[in-house]
Amino acid sequence: MKMDELPTTRLISGLASLATTGVTREDIIRHFTDLLKDSLGIEKATVRDVSDVEGRSAIGGHVLSTRKHFVDNNLSEYSQFPELIGYSNEGYKSYAAVPIMADGHVICILELLSHYENKFTPEALSSMSAAVLLLGFALAYKAESARSNRLAGYFDAVFNSDNPQMLISPNGTLIKVNKAAAKALRVQTGSNLKESLGVEYSSVLSIAAGRSPGALAINIDGVSRTYSAMASRASETLVYLSLQDISEMSSFRNAMQSIDQSSDAVIVFTDVLLNMTGSTENFSKVLGYDRNIMVGKPITDIASGQEKSDFEHSVKNGEKNPRARIDLLTLGGYPIRMRFSSAKALDGYAIMFVKSDAEKYVQDLREGLDDFISNAAEMVIRVSDLGFVTSCNIATESNLGYTRDELSGKDIRSLYKDPTIVDRDMTYARNMGKPDNSYVDIVRKDGELVPGTQSIRLLTDIEGNREYLVVVRELLTKRILVDKESELQRNARDMKKLRMTGELKSQFIYNISHELKSPLTSIKGYAKLLINEEYGTLNEEQKQYLEIISNESDRLMQIIQQVLDSARLEAQKVKLDLKEVDLKMLGDNPSIQALRESATEKGLKFNWKVDYNVPNVLADPSRLIQIFVNLINNSIKFTEKGSIEVHIFNKTRSKIQCDVIDTGIGISEEDQQKLFKKFYQVPTKKGLATQTGAGTGLGLSITRELVKLHGGDISFKSQLGKGTTFWFTLRINPKNVKQKQ
């Protein structure tokens, strides 16, 4: 078929039918490009969105700016744009870029490629112009249809709201109302705004013009309620109105204003963690604290006694208990017995506190505090605001060797090895802090030190007199901790020496192994020269002996290489040379093919299977071959009959898994525990397999370290007498791996 005989009728009829059906935009494009390729006899047709070519493609920018098609029927390395040179390198000879227009704008670009020269003549492009124009209309129709569906979905979602919603015509008729409006406002479609709700249409227009919520008073069944109203124009003739009942909020605001005048009740607002976010204005009047300082702090910070947990539980679980009580400490330090009730707020809780017999409770608490000080097992010392001891308990006398009279009037700082600690904690307590668990050394009367932890609280009586309560818990284990710390330091030094010794050992092994390679290479080279009869003819027995020398040299070289690899891995000197690796092609590597031949010679089936959707991975090809060779070689060594299969598949989106499966002798549970240890070799089971040659026991250890270097994991599963599967994972794009610069 000639280019000027393009069957545009078939293109146009196909596009017209697709545009009005439920197929997607992608289906239309795919159908159009398939028809183009079939009709024109070309290899590639692609429709690209403007966003894909704008600023990224020189040709795309040219077509967008000129709105004309671009043709190059003789692609070569001298073509005008870099993209064309790339297409030429891929074997294409002709290229055309055609703008797809809709409503006077370029919405897509059609790219055509052919392996033949002079494929896109003016006649051919002219013959397909009608089909391209229709494609633009079809894509624009689909876009407009999708936009309409989204708009309809938006209004459906809005009208499913729990708030009353409605559409209103200019004459005040309710064109559409949702279920919430019908239920709460007693209106229905066709009702009149003024007659049903007592609201003027002009009031709604005023709110829409202001673009901010307004308030509407609506009379429902003889009861007036206040609604927050949000209005906007849905079209030239319709206004959308959304309402939210705020009647209770108005009542709550009035109640708040009443509480602000009270000195016996206060409302506190908190977040879900009971951190204070706000309060009524009288917060300072009731409790004495500046509420701005308390914002952000837990309300339980000013709670006293053992009732904190019950209080938190009651608030967070919404328990209604009219007898609930808690003690709140005033700024003066004395507690006030408060009743409380709470309610869940928008983003936390609202808690109301009401005073309950504060004075009597303070007296009872003071007496209880004195009893606690006298009978406490810890050292408790009362200190005046100026820092002098006023009294202490029996535990203080027995621990420090002073009598109560000797301590009375003594400067509290004289009892500390480091007086700055008590100065710091008393200052913190004076600023409403709660210093706890400070490590201190208290000086006994005889000069010995008593280690302990210290807590300090500031107390203020009703008259405003301040004093400090110092509680010191003797810490008998502090010296033990110091000794343990010294022991840990010694152990750290010993570990450092051991690490240095290990590094020297690894370096020695690396150096000596490297030195062994040179003479061994010479031995192998001369043996090969003799085998090849470079220095004279040999008899069969001589050749046999030389073959043994050569083979043993190869085995010794392999052992040295494994020792070198192990030493370099231990010294963290191995760097990966990351490249893109095609795992399907990896099966054709000479090392893998040599293993295939070894398996075949032993009568084993060998299969290299890679799933079709496995992508290329970023890895070190030589190290990857080393991993496979170690695992496959072990499978061949311990398998007498059956098969060996390598299966590579996608494990997750970012990982692939490689399985090496054999039908060999399996591994016992005892051997499984030691398999990856250095120098460990699985003992040969009598009658199950014959192991030729002796290895180093380093292969699996090296394999595991190489897998870890690639950011993967390795493991196995085995059943004695039935076979073993070794598997390891690789990241498709590994991160944080050591690689060569």
Give me the half-sphere count of Cα atoms (radius 13 Å) on the Cβ side of residue 43. Answer: 12
pLDDT tens, 630-672? 899 989 989 999 999 999 999 998 999 999 999 999 888 888 7
Strands (E), 548-640: 579-581, 605-610, 617-619
Q: State the residue for tokens 């602000």.
A: 260
* Confidence grade of residue 480 (pLDDT, cut at 50, 70, 90): low
Average pLDDT, the chain: 79
Highest mean pLDDT, choosing among 141-150, 364-373, 430-439: 430-439
Give Cα 210 distance to the centre of its chain: 43
Please say if the pLDDT value at position 478 is more than 60.
Answer: no
Q: Which of 218-232, 363-377, 616-630, 694-708 has the lowest mean pLDDT?
A: 363-377
Distance CA 694, CA 101 (A): 75
Q: pLDDT at residue 31 above 50?
A: yes
List the Cα angle 54/56/62 in 5-degree steps: 55
What's residue 729's pLDDT? Answer: 94
Structure confidence at residue 514 (pLDDT): 61
Q: Does the pLDDT of residue 611 top 90, yes or no?
A: yes
**How sure is the predictor about 734, in pLDDT bands with cuts at 50, 70 and 90?**
confident
* pLDDT at residue 251 is higher than 60: no
Domains and CATH numbers, the chain: 3-148 (3.30.450.40), 160-245 (3.30.450.20), 250-361 (3.30.450.20), 376-476 (3.30.450.20), 481-570 (1.10.287), 579-731 (3.30.565.10)
pLDDT confidence of residue 609? 93
> What Cα–Cα distance (Å) separates residue 639 from each residue in 685, 689, 694, 727?
12, 7, 16, 17
Residue labelled with tokens 């229709």 = 134
362-395: pLDDT as tens digits: 555 566 667 667 777 788 999 998 899 988 888 8
pLDDT at 157 over 80: no
Q: Which residues pair with 110 in a beta bridge?
A: 47, 98
Please determine, for residue 233, whether its predicted confidence score (pLDDT) is greater than 90. no
Within 13 Å, how many C-alpha atoms sit on residue 531's CB side? 14
- Work out the average pLDDT over 726-738: 81
On the question of pLDDT at 607 being above 50, the answer is: yes
Q: Determine the pLDDT at residue 217.
A: 83
Give the pLDDT confidence score for residue 130 in this predicted structure.
75
Decide if 43 contacts 115 (C-beta within 8 A): yes
Between 221 and 709, the more confident residue is 709
Range ranked top by mean pLDDT from 263-267, 347-351, 696-700, 708-712: 708-712
Which pLDDT belongs to residue 323? 60
Residue 589, φ and ψ in degrees, nearest 5: -60, 140
Instruction: Please give the pLDDT value at position 580.
Output: 92
Cα 372-376-378 angle, rounded to 5 deg: 135
Q: Are 425 and 435 in contact (CB under 8 A)?
A: yes
Amino acid present at 288: G
Q: The tokens of 28 are what?
A: 């239309």
Count, residues in the chain: 741
Residues 130-142, mean pLDDT to the nearest whole number: 76
Whole-number Å distance between alpha carbons of 81 and 62: 10
Binned at pLDDT 50, 70 and 90, residue 182 comes out as confident
Q: Give percent above pLDDT 70 in the chain.
A: 79
